[in-house]
Amino acid sequence: MPPDADATQHDWRIENREYARHEARRGRRFAFTHLVPTRTALVVIDMVPFFVAENPYCRGIVPNIHRLADRLRAAGGTVAWVLPAVGAGSPVTEEFYGPVVAELYRTSGGTGPPAERLWAGLRADDADLFVEKSAASAFFPGRCPLPELLTERRIETVLITGTVTNVCCESSARDAATLGYRVILVADANAARRDRDHNATLHTIYRNFGDVRPTSDVLDLIDHPAPSPCRVTRVPRSG
């Protein structure tokens, strides 16, 4: 059986009342109606064998990640692969998870060259960014170099993809919004263990932190970019 024979997609949704709430507030369903590809980064989180191999939802998002990466690279944007760092153990982590599971998570990212640590079914490019994170979020200050690298590239918009939707992807989306990025969580390019976990995150992000859109919508945004730079000044949120 091929490794992706049982790959599947989440039955994702945003409730109509949430769409209506934002339409009443700002006069449109989505906050970000245009993007500038050269100032946009596709952030792919934790797509390593530890998470992907046993989860058909993870394997199901691989084609959409490839579509987004190929189209954004062609338009001059950035693709960033984020992997779990293998760091020192923590007494608090062991207390929370237990020593066996804590050790599994600590080593979940594997070792060796970053590109070779991705799940074998993924296609990366030599020009892509590869970074490690030592926290759930790829945007938590001091725990991942990604924000500094994106600042160097004048990135304004981040497209969040990968796994697990309701842990590292949600944490990254929240922190990216706090840092002032325009956040789009790609609904069918993130994967959790269950539909209800996945959809709970979509609800939270759409309500408070960024847009939630399918791959087809994001590809259309890349193909029909803003006529001029978005001129977004990233200012951290307060309160």
Per-10-residue mean pLDDT for the chain, 239 residues long?
73 96 96 97 96 95 98 98 86 83 78 90 96 96 96 98 98 98 98 98 98 98 78 49
The pLDDT of residue 228: 56
Distance CA 119, CA 57 (A): 14
CB 190 within 8 A of CB 198: yes
Cis status, amide bond into 183, omega within 30 of 0: no
The pLDDT of residue 6: 86
The pLDDT of residue 234: 57
Q: pTM for this structure?
A: 0.90
The pLDDT of residue 238: 45
The pLDDT of residue 225: 86
Would the CA dihedral through 185, 186, 192, 198 be positive or negative?
Answer: positive
The pLDDT of residue 96: 78
Using alpha carbons, select from 110, 119, 112 the residue that is nearest to residue 191: 119
The pLDDT of residue 229: 52
Residue type, 148: E
CB 97 within 8 A of CB 105: yes
The pLDDT of residue 226: 77
| b (16+ CB within 10 A) / e for 65-101 | bebbbebbbeeebbbbbbbbeeeeeeeeeeeeeeeee
